[in-house]
Structure 1
Amino acid sequence: MTTTTTTTTAATAPGAEQLLKAGAVLPVGTPDAGPSAVDLTARAYRHPALPEGRVVVRLAAAELGPAEDLAAGFLGLVPDAAEPPVVGLGQRQALGFPEWVLVHHPEDGHHALAVVPELDRVARQAKNKPKAALDACHELAGRLAAAVPHFLPVFYEQAARLFLAVENTTYAAQLFGRARDAEAQHGLAVDEDRLDAVFLEFALVGALPVKVLTGYAKALSARVGPEEAHARFVRLCVRRTAGGLPPSAQAATELRRLARAAGITGNRAEQDYLAELLPLPATLRAAYGWWKAHRTALIALARREPAVRGTLLELMPPGGDGDLTDLWLEVLEESGATASLVDAGLPAEERCTDGTSGWLERFHAARHGGWGRRPSLPALLDLVERAADRLRAEASAPDRETGLRIGVQDVDLLDLLLSLGIPVADPEEDGAKQRRHHRDRNMNLADWAAGDARRDLVALAADRRFRPAFQRAAYAFNDAHTGADAMRRIAAAPGGRTMLTEWMQEVAARSTA
C-alpha cells in the first residue's frame, strides 16, 4: 500500500515547468524548468523619505533589471550600488504596464500611474464579473487613446494578463488583439524584440489562436526586412513548441512564404527548422496536417542526417489517427529509417533503443488506438518480412520470452508473424495483463474481410491460442449484410474455413443443448 501511494504521488506531482507557470519561484539551478525560466534578482532600493536602514526589496527578472531600476527611480527610489543577487527562477514576462511607460516615456508617467488603481479594480472584477471588467478596460482604453495613444498596446496586454490570471483566455485573446489593432490604427513604432516576447508569453498560455500567429507573420513582413521576418517567425514557432504547444500546420504555410520572400531556395531552411522541433515533446502532438505539410523536407532531412533517422524511429505519433500512421510509415520508408529495423549492423545513432520488436509493438499500438477502420498496411507487412531475421533474433532476449505483444487487431500481420515463425504473445494472457477493452480482445475480422489482399490465415488457424479471439469476433457479427459478407470471405480462406467450421459446430451444439 505504501509503495502504491508513493508511486501515485510522484506521478501526479507537478513538474518544475508547471510550478513556474503557476507563479512559483523555483530554486536556482532547478532542472527541467523550461525555456521560459529566467533568473530572478532581489533588487534593493532606498528612499530619502524612509528611515535610515529601511530598504525596499523587489523581485525582478535579471533581464529586466535596468528597466525595473528606471521604473523605481520614477518614484524616487535609489538602487543599491551592490550587484543584485540571483535568488531563484521565475516565469519570463515582457515589461508590462505601467513599467514600460515609466521607462520609455517618463514624461507621461503620471498618466500611467493614475490608471493603476483602476486596473486593480478590473482585476478584482475579472473572475466574478468578467463582462463588467472587460467593459471597464475598453472605457479606460478610450480615455488613453484620446490623450496618450502610445500607451494602448502595453495597457491592453496588461489588461489581458488580468484575465489570464483568472483563466479567461477568451477575453485575454480579445484584448491582445486590440493591442495589435492599436499599433496599426495609431501608426505606433513597434519594438520587435518586445513584441516577440509578448507573443511568446501569450502563446504559451493558450491565449493566441493560430489565426493570430499567422497574422503576426504577415505583419512582420510589412514591418521588417524579409530575412529578419523569416528568422523572427522561425524563432517564435520553435520557442512556442519548446514551451509545450504543438506546432501548427498553418504556420508551416507562413514559414514557406517568408522563406520565399527572403530569397531562400530549396527546403534546407525548413529542414533546419524541423531539426530543432523533432526532439521537442510537443512536436509529437502535431496534427496530421503539420506532418503532411513538412513531409518532403522531413524525408530530405532524415536522408541527410543519420541521427534523425534514429530519432524518427524513437518517435511515434499518438494513437487514434490512422492517416497519420500511414503517413508515418511512408516517411520512415522513403527516408531510409526502416533500414536499421532490418540491418542490425547499422550505427547505433540510426537505430531505436527498443529494437525492431519494440518499434513494431509501438507502431501497432499507435495504429490501432482509437476507433475506425484500420486495414492492414501492405508496406508494414513487407517491412516485417524483410525484418523477420531481426525479429526472430530478438525473440531470444530475456525480456522477450513471451513473444511480440500485438494483440489481435491486425489479422494479416498476426498471420504473417506466425507463418514466419516469429513468437507472438498469447492474446488471452496479454489481454488480461493489459486490461484491454473487450473490442480489442476480439479478432478484427471485419477489417481483414474488407481488405484487398487478404492472407489465407493458415498459420493463424494452426495456433489454437487464437481460437477464443476468433470466436468472440464471429459472435459479434450482428449485421446481416456485412456479417454475411465477412463470413463468406472467411469461409473462402483455407485457415478461416477451419476456424469457422469449429465455431459453427459450437453454435450448433449450443442450439441443440
Structure 2
Amino acid sequence: MIVSLDALLPVSGPHSSTTYADWVAAHDPGAAGVARDLVEDMRTELARSRHKPGRFVDRMTARARRLPAAHLPWFWDTVGHRLIGYGSRPGGRAYAAARAAEAEHGLPVDPGYRRANALLFAAGGAMPAKEFGAHQRFLADTLDPAAAHTALEAFLTAWAGSRADLPADLVRRVRASAKAAGHGDEEAARMVGAILSVTREKSVPEALLTAAETVLTARPPADAVLAGLVEVFPAGVTDGGAWLRMLIGCGAAEAMEAGRLVPEGGLVHWVGRSVCMYQYALQSGGGVARQPLPAEFLDLVGRLGPRLRAGGTPVAVHTTRYHYQGFDADVLDACLAAGVAVVDPGPEVRMRFWGEGSRRDLAALAADPVFGPRLEGTVHADLLPGHWTVRPRRSGSAVTLLPGIEGIAHEVAVRVGKLVDTVAGGGMAGAEEAVAELETLLDRPTVAALDGIVDALAEAAGPGALRRSLAAGLPEELAWPALESVYAEFAESAKSADALEADLGLGEVWARRLAGGYGAAADSAVEAAGGSWRRRGTAAGWRSGPCPRPGPSCRTAPRWVSTSGRSRARWCGPGRTGRPGIPQWPARWTCTSGCGPNWRARSCCWRCPAGGSRTPRRGSRSGSGPGGCRWPGTTARRRARSR
C-alpha cells in the first residue's frame, strides 16, 4: 500500500496523469484492469473532443455513475489533471465534483495529498473561485495558524501566476488569515503585494484592486514588489483606472518618476503598452468599443514627461490590442503638452475627439503643426451628419466646440479662406456650394474668432462667378456659340455626297441627306428611298459619328441610332440607343433602297434574282413575293452562313 498519497500526483505532467489507476492498484487490486482501461478511455476521449472539453466532462459524468463511491474523488481528480490547460471551467468542474464526492459520502481525506493537489490545480489555472473559501477552511482545520497562513500564501501565489482570474475577496481573506496567525496589517500588505506582483495580463476584479490600494497605500511595499506591480496590466472589461490608482497610492508612480524604478522595456514602452491595452475594451454584448483612458493616466504622462523626453524615443500611442488603430485626442494632447515626441503613422489613422467628455483643453494638440490640422478635421467631422444616424448637419465650426484655442481658430480660418477663394475665383456651381457651406459654417462664435472675415466676404463678389460662367459658355443654354461654330465648320467641309460616303462609309441616300441639309425635302427623299437606317459602330459592330442636329438633347457623345422601322431618323439623346448587331443576310439578296453594305433597315425592299420582292411588315421575319421568293428567315440565314 502507498503510504504517502501525495506521491500519486503526476510528475511528468498533468496531461499524462494516472492517479486513479495508481490508487486503485494500491487500494482495490481487483479493479486495477478496469481502472487502467478507463484511464486509457480518458486519453482517447479527450483527444476526440479536445476542442469541446465540456463535452468530455459530460461523458466522464456518465462513466462516474457506474463507479463505487470510494473511487469517485480519485477518478475526478484524474479527469481534472488531464483538463489542466483547457481553461478554468472544465477542470474546475472536475475538482468541484471530487470535493463534492468526498463531502457527500464522508470519505477520508489525506491532508498532504489535498494540499498538493490544490496547488497543482491552482498553478494550472483550473481552481474554481468558489472553492477558495473551502480550501482556506481546510487549511485552518488541518494545520496550525502560522502554517495555514504560509500554505495559503503559496496557494494564492500559484493561483496568481496562472491564467485563472483571482477571487474578488482575496484581500479580506488574506487579512483574516494574517490575523489568525497573529500578524497585523503589515503582513497582510506584504502578502497582497507579493501575490499581485506575479499577476500578468489577466482579468483582475476592480474590487480586488480597490481593496489592495487601501492596504498598499497604508503600508507601501519594497521596490522589488513595486517592479512587479507596474507590470500587471489587468485585462478584461476595464480601463486600467483602478490599477493606476493602486500604483499611485503605493508609490510605484513616484518611483518611476524619480528614476528608482524602470519598467521592462523602459518608460516609453510602458506608456505605449498602457495605451495599447486600454484604448478599446470588450463589450457585454460582444465585440469591442473605444473608451477614454482614465484621468490618472493623463496626469501620470505629465509626471513622467522629463523621463520620457530624456529617453529621446517617440511614444506609439495609436496601437491597440485589436486590429484597430487610432489616436485618443486627450492622450495625444497630454504627450505633446509634456514635450514627448509621438510616432506619426500618417494621416490615414483617425483621431477620436470626446467632445464634452474630453478631460483636457487640447491646446497643445491644436498648436502642433502636424496633428493640429487633423484635430480640426476631426472636430469638423463631428458636426457633419453621421453614417448611422439621421441627425442633420449641425451649424458651426471647430471653434464652436473648442472655443478660445488659437490653433483651432487658425485652422478654421484656413478652411473658410478656401471657401472664400472658391466664391471669388470659381464658377457659379462652385460658388453656390461654397456660399451654402459658409452659411452653415459661420455661426456667431466662429465669426467672432475670425478677424477680418467680414471684409473678405465683401471682396468675394458673386457677379464675378456669373461673368466667368457666361464667358465660358454653359451646356445648359439653348444655344452654345462655340459648339455651333464647330458644326458650321464641319458642314462647310462636307462639300459633296461622294466625299461623305468615302470618308464616313455612309450609304448613298444618307450621304446625300447629310450633304443636302436637314429640311423637309431631305426627309421626304429618305422616306421615298427606303425608310429607317442604322449604322455600324465601334461597340458591338457600330461606328459612332457626329450628331447631325446638335441641341439640348445631345448631352452625351453624339452618335446615330436606328428607329427600327420608321422612315425618319431620330437624333441621339439620353436613353436613345440602338440595339447592337446586324444580322448577316444571304449574298443573293440585294437591297433596292440604296442602303449600302453597311446599313440595314427592317422596312427596306429586298429583291431576289427570281424577280420577287416584298417589303414585310414591321417585326416580320419571313414572307414571299410574287415570284415565289421568300424573305430570308432564321433558317435561310443559317444556310447562307454554312455556304
1:189 aligns with 2:108: yes
User: Structure 1: any 5+ residue segments left out of the alignment?
Assistant: 1-62, 69-88, 433-437
Q: Kindly indicate whether the alpha-carbon contact (under 8 Å) linking 1:230 and 1:258 is maintained by their aligned counterparts in 2.
A: yes
1:139 aligns with 2:65: yes
Q: CA deviation at 1:194?
A: 1.0
442, 451, 464: which one aligns with 2:358: 451
**For the residues of structure 2 that align with 1:64 and 1:507, how far apart are their CA atoms?**
85
**For the residues of structure 2 that align with 1:341 and 1:125, how far apart are their CA atoms?**
52
**For the residues of structure 1 that align with 2:102 and 2:256, how far apart are their CA atoms?**
54
Q: What amino acid is the match of 2:272?
A: E
User: Structure 2: any 5+ residue segments left out of the alignment?
Assistant: 50-54, 282-288, 319-325, 423-429, 436-643
Q: What amino acid is the match of 2:75?
A: F
Structure 1 residues 328 and 139, CA gap change in structure 2 (3 angstroms): closer
Greater Cα shift, 236-245 or 310-319: 310-319
Q: CA deviation at 1:91?
A: 1.5
1:351 aligns with 2:269: no
**For the residues of structure 1 that align with 2:87 and 2:365, how far apart are their CA atoms?**
58
Q: What amino acid is the match of 1:272?
A: M
Structure 1 residues 197 and 166, CA gap change in structure 2 (3 angstroms): closer
- CA deviations over 1:364-397 (Å, ceiling 9, x no partner): 33342443431662x55554444444444333xx
Q: Which residue of structure 2 lines up, in the alignment, with residue 240 of structure 1?
A: 159
Q: CA deviation at 1:155?
A: 2.9
Q: What amino acid is the match of 2:279?
A: H
Structure 1 residues 119 and 319, CA gap change in structure 2 (3 angstroms): closer
- CA deviations over 1:170-205 (Å, ceiling 9, x no partner): 665444323212222333332122112323434455
Map 1:85-100; keep pairs closer than 5 Å. Answer: 90-91=12-13, 96-100=19-23
Structure 1 residues 135 and 190, CA gap change in structure 2 (3 angstroms): closer
Q: Kindly indicate whether the alpha-carbon contact (under 8 Å) linking 1:295 and 1:331 is maintained by their aligned counterparts in 2.
A: yes
Q: Which residue of structure 2 lines up, in the alignment, with residue 321 of structure 1?
A: 238
Q: What amino acid is the match of 1:463?
A: P
Q: Kindly indicate whether the alpha-carbon contact (under 8 Å) linking 1:249 and 1:290 is maintained by their aligned counterparts in 2.
A: yes
Map 1:289-304; keep pairs closer than 5 Å. Answer: 289-300=207-218, 303-304=220-221
475, 486, 494: which one aligns with 2:381: 475
Map 1:382-461; keep pairs closer than 5 Å. Answer: 382-395=299-312, 400=313, 403-407=314-318, 409-415=327-333, 417-419=335-337, 422-425=339-342, 427=344, 430-431=345-346, 441-447=349-355, 449-451=356-358, 454-455=360-361, 457=363, 460-461=366-367
**For the residues of structure 2 that align with 1:304 and 1:315, how far apart are their CA atoms?**
15
**For the residues of structure 1 that align with 2:41 and 2:275, how far apart are their CA atoms?**
56
Q: What amino acid is the match of 1:368?
A: Q
1:337 aligns with 2:252: yes
**For the residues of structure 1 that align with 2:415 and 2:236, how far apart are their CA atoms?**
32
Q: Kindly indicate whether the alpha-carbon contact (under 8 Å) linking 1:352 and 1:359 is maintained by their aligned counterparts in 2.
A: yes
Counterpart secondary structure, 2:66: helix
**For the residues of structure 2 that align with 1:411 and 1:168, how far apart are their CA atoms?**
38
**For the residues of structure 2 that align with 1:491 and 1:249, how far apart are their CA atoms?**
45
Counterpart secondary structure, 2:114: helix
Q: CA deviation at 1:294?
A: 1.8
Q: Which residue of structure 1 lines up, in the alignment, with residue 407 of structure 2?
A: 495
**For the residues of structure 1 that align with 2:152 and 2:397, how far apart are their CA atoms?**
53
Q: Kindly indicate whether the alpha-carbon contact (under 8 Å) linking 1:375 and 1:451 is maintained by their aligned counterparts in 2.
A: no
Counterpart secondary structure, 2:200: helix
Q: Which residue of structure 2 lines up, in the alignment, with residue 362 of structure 1?
A: 273
Q: Which residue of structure 1 lines up, in the alignment, with residue 129 of structure 2?
A: 210
Structure 1 residues 406 and 386, CA gap change in structure 2 (3 angstroms): same
1:154 aligns with 2:74: yes
Structure 1 residues 212 and 333, CA gap change in structure 2 (3 angstroms): closer
Q: What amino acid is the match of 1:351?
A: V
Counterpart secondary structure, 1:140: coil
Q: What amino acid is the match of 1:307?
A: A
More helix by share: 1
Q: Which residue of structure 2 lines up, in the alignment, with residue 85 of structure 1?
A: none
Q: CA deviation at 1:266?
A: 1.1
Alignment TM-score, normalising by the size of structure 2: 0.51
Q: Kindly indicate whether the alpha-carbon contact (under 8 Å) linking 1:319 and 1:368 is maintained by their aligned counterparts in 2.
A: no
Structure 1 residues 119 and 388, CA gap change in structure 2 (3 angstroms): closer
Q: Kindly indicate whether the alpha-carbon contact (under 8 Å) linking 2:335 and 2:341 is maintained by their aligned counterparts in 1.
A: yes
Q: Kindly indicate whether the alpha-carbon contact (under 8 Å) linking 1:246 and 1:283 is maintained by their aligned counterparts in 2.
A: no
If you compute each CA radius of gyration, which structure gives the higher value, 1 or 2?
2
Q: Which residue of structure 2 lines up, in the alignment, with residue 34 of structure 1?
A: none
Q: Kindly indicate whether the alpha-carbon contact (under 8 Å) linking 1:410 and 1:444 is maintained by their aligned counterparts in 2.
A: yes
Q: What amino acid is the match of 2:106?
A: G
Q: What amino acid is the match of 2:64?
A: H
1:288 aligns with 2:288: no
Q: What amino acid is the match of 2:206?
A: Y
Q: Which residue of structure 2 lines up, in the alignment, with residue 306 of structure 1?
A: 223
Q: Kindly indicate whether the alpha-carbon contact (under 8 Å) linking 2:330 and 2:358 is maintained by their aligned counterparts in 1.
A: no
Q: Kindly indicate whether the alpha-carbon contact (under 8 Å) linking 2:92 and 2:126 is maintained by their aligned counterparts in 1.
A: yes
Structure 1 residues 413 and 263, CA gap change in structure 2 (3 angstroms): same
**For the residues of structure 1 that align with 2:297 and 2:39, how far apart are their CA atoms?**
60
**For the residues of structure 2 that align with 1:353 and 1:119, how far apart are their CA atoms?**
44
**For the residues of structure 2 that align with 1:65 and 1:257, how far apart are their CA atoms?**
28
Q: Kindly indicate whether the alpha-carbon contact (under 8 Å) linking 1:458 and 1:494 is maintained by their aligned counterparts in 2.
A: no
Q: CA deviation at 1:156?
A: 3.1
Q: Kindly indicate whether the alpha-carbon contact (under 8 Å) linking 1:320 and 1:367 is maintained by their aligned counterparts in 2.
A: no
Q: CA deviation at 1:338?
A: 2.8
Q: What amino acid is the match of 1:446?
A: W
Map 1:102-113; keep pairs closer than 5 Å. Answer: 102-103=25-26, 105=27, 108-113=28-33
Tell me: higher relative CO, structure 1 or 2? Use CA pairs within 8 A at least 6 residues apart.
1
- CA deviations over 1:61-101 (Å, ceiling 9, x no partner): xx999879xxxxxxxxxxxxxxxxxxxx8225877123224
- CA deviations over 1:298-356 (Å, ceiling 9, x no partner): 4456x34133334444554458732x2x2233233323333344445xx4xx2335554
- CA deviations over 1:140-185 (Å, ceiling 9, x no partner): 23xx23xxx3x332133235556x3996986654443232122223
Q: Which residue of structure 2 lines up, in the alignment, with residue 178 of structure 1?
A: 97
- CA deviations over 1:241-292 (Å, ceiling 9, x no partner): 33443433244443334334444321423423532541x3636553434322
Q: What amino acid is the match of 2:19?
A: G
Counterpart secondary structure, 1:294: helix
Q: CA deviation at 1:471?
A: 0.9
**For the residues of structure 2 that align with 1:390 and 1:153, how far apart are their CA atoms?**
57
